């Protein structure tokens, strides 16, 4: 299994095992309650998903780049739901 697949599986496992739904996970990681996940909050999610600290910054940046459709360098709830749906579909 490649690193990307391993990371996706770990994120999916975290979201499905610890939370009722993606929205609950989003609210948990939105520490400043501004309705968006910034890079540090995404890195916290990755830490809880047991992603190596070596990869967290890179992966967080790539996730934001890939799913931030509003251009604010954060992931809002709708963008997060799309990301999780795609992640689950790809596994």
Write out pLDDT tens, residues 20-75.
999 999 999 999 999 999 999 999 999 999 999 999 999 999 999 999 999 999 99
Residue 91 has pLDDT above 70, yes or no: no
- Integer Cα distance of 54 and 20 in angstroms: 29
Position 90 pLDDT exceeds 90: no
CATH architecture of 3-90: Orthogonal Bundle (1.10)
The Cα 82–Cα 2 span in angstroms is 23
Say which DSSP state 37 is in. Answer: E
For the chain, domain boundaries: 3-90
């Amino acid at each position: 299994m490649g690193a990307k697949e391993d990371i996706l599986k770990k994120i999916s496992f975290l979201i499905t095992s610890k939370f009722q739904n993606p929205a609950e996970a989003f609210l948990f990681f939105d520490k400043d309650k501004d309705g968006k996940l910034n890079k540090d909050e995404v890195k916290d999610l990755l830490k809880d998903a047991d992603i190596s600290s070596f990869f967290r910054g890179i992966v967080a940046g790539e996730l934001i780049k890939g799913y931030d459709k509003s251009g604010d360098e954060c992931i809002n709830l709708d963008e997060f739901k799309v990301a999780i749906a795609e992640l689950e579909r790809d596994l």
